Amino acid sequence: MVTDSHSPSRRPTMTDVAQRAGVSLKTVSRVVNGVQTVDPEMAGRVQEAADELGYRPNFAAAVLRSGARTATIGLLIKDLRNEFYATIAAAVADVARANGFQLITSYSGENADDELEAVQDLCRRRVDGLLIVPTSGDHAGLQKERDLGTPMVFLDRRPEGLDADAVVLDNFAGARAGTGMLLDEGHTRIGILIDTLRMPTMGERLNGVRQAYTDRGLSFDESLVVHNVATPDKAAKRMETILAAEQAPTAFFCGNNRSGVGALRTLWAHGRTEPLVCFDDFHLSDLMPRPVTVIGYDNYALGALGAELLFRRIRGEDFESQTVVLPTRLIRRGTTTDAPHPTSPVNQPTEGIQ
């Protein structure tokens, strides 16, 4: 039953089918593509021959000759284990599927060079469009590819040095509202944990924090900002130090869910009750063992809107480059209990967590 499945034997071609069915190449083409009128009897013979041989049309050859689209889009994205990116990828996959396109998911790399290389590879493969969740801060190198006819839409971050569409979050307003809430609760020393400012999103969020102070005529103490908190582990460790210090902050603002989760762990471990606001919602945030306020948004919409925008370009619509800004909103999450302190607060952190 199992034939020699490991032989690299050439797949049958249209010519093979034509020979077997005793018809011309073109007739096979017509039958396979289901267009035009073909004599039913003949069509049957062709279909039979094709089935017997296990004929599968070579899509790339058809595209090459006909000049049709490859019906493929590319997505450059970082780490699918991070739910932020995974949700975007899921949205893009859904839209691609709805349009009958395949999706090539490629890693966006660490810097502008990696990114450019990935884009160029996808262009060699003649993708019809590109969705990019950028890592690097310079996209000027991509201008050429776009000019060459590959539309691009940027997700989560605006393109820099490049004229292209984008869908981003309102980082500034979100951070401003979150910080404002803490200030309005009477906190004036708010510890800020952010990832590197090389991510413009972080800069926007930090500016939102500053603006909340300004809004209220308060001055912001920049020394309360802790930079380069890239992982939950780092956040947890930095929090240990911060909490031990004199004049520790009375509330915390975390620039993303990674730092938020890490900070939460340490606060929980020490039974601390300082309020925490965290940019990005996350799975199960509602079941956290203590309150946490998140700055949430529609993550799936970010990916879906970006993909829709891309397909408009692919369909040939011509319009000025546009940037869609998605709103955020404050959501109270986590649980509250009567217990002032956990009995056995420290637990093995979940493995493989972002």
Partner DNA sequence: ATGAAAGCGCTAACAT
Partner DNA sequence: ATGTTAGCGCTTTCAT
Q: Quick check: 106 binds a copy of itself (CB under 8 A)?
A: yes
Residue 306 CB coordination number (10 Å) = 27
The token pair that represents 119 in the structure block: 């884009």
Q: Quick check: 25 binds DNA (CB under 7 A)?
A: yes
CB of 52 or CB of 184, closer to DNA: 52
Q: Are 189 and 198 in contact (CB under 8 A)?
A: no
Q: Are 62 and 44 in contact (CB under 8 A)?
A: no
Q: Are 100 and 71 in contact (CB under 8 A)?
A: yes
CB of 127 or CB of 192, closer to DNA: 127
Long-range pairs for 229-233: beta carbons < 8 A, 24 or more residues apart = 229/193, 229/194, 229/195, 229/254, 229/255, 229/258, 229/259, 229/262, 230/195, 230/196, 230/258, 231/258, 231/262, 232/258, 232/259, 232/261, 232/262, 232/265, 232/349, 232/353, 232/354, 233/262
Q: Which does 97 bind (CB under 5 to 8 A by kind): a copy of itself, DNA, none?
A: a copy of itself
Q: Which does 29 bind (CB under 5 to 8 A by kind): a copy of itself, DNA, none?
A: DNA
The answer for residues whose C-beta is within 8 angstroms of residue 182's C-beta and 6 or more apart is 190, 251, 253, 275, 277
Q: Quick check: 218 binds a copy of itself (CB under 8 A)?
A: no
Beta bridge partners of 129: 73
Output the smallest distance, CB 116 to a copy of itself, in A.
12
| Binding residue count for a copy of itself, defined by CB under 8 A | 97
Q: Which of 37, 66, 247, 337 binds a copy of itself (CB under 8 A)?
A: 337
Output the smallest distance, CB 44 to DNA, in A.
11
> According to CB under 7 A, which residues from 61 to 120 bind DNA?
61-62, 64-68
Q: Which does 36 bind (CB under 5 to 8 A by kind): a copy of itself, DNA, none?
A: DNA
Q: 284's torsion region: left (phi>0), alpha (psi -120 to 50) or beta? A: left
> According to CB under 8 A, which residues from 268 to 327 bind a copy of itself?
268, 281-289, 296, 299-300, 313, 316, 318
Q: Which does 13 bind (CB under 5 to 8 A by kind): DNA, a copy of itself, none?
A: DNA
Q: Quick check: 342 binds a copy of itself (CB under 8 A)?
A: yes
Quote the crossing angle between the two packed helices 232-244 and 257-269, to the nearest 10°.
Answer: 50
| Binding residue count for DNA, defined by CB under 7 A | 28
Convert residues 226-265 into a mask of x (bound to DNA by CB under 7 A) and - (unbound).
----------------------------------------
Q: Quick check: 58 binds a copy of itself (CB under 8 A)?
A: yes
Determine whether 160 is exposed, middle or buried from the number of CB atoms within 10 Å of its CB (0-12, 13-18, 19+): middle
Q: Quick check: 147 binds a copy of itself (CB under 8 A)?
A: yes
Q: Which of 20, 38, 307, 309 binds DNA (CB under 7 A)?
A: 38
Secondary structure letter of residue 11 according to DSSP: P
Q: Which of 42, 104, 324, 325 binds a copy of itself (CB under 8 A)?
A: 104
CB of 30 or CB of 210, closer to DNA: 30
Q: Which of 24, 25, 33, 79 binds a copy of itself (CB under 8 A)?
A: 79
Q: Quick check: 336 binds a copy of itself (CB under 8 A)?
A: yes
Length of the chain, in residues = 354
Q: Indicate the pairing of strand 292-296 with strand 329-333.
A: antiparallel
Q: Which of 97, 189, 216, 315 binds a copy of itself (CB under 8 A)?
A: 97
| Contacting residues toward DNA, per CB under 7 A | 10, 13-15, 23-27, 29-30, 32-33, 36-39, 42-43, 57-58, 61-62, 64-68
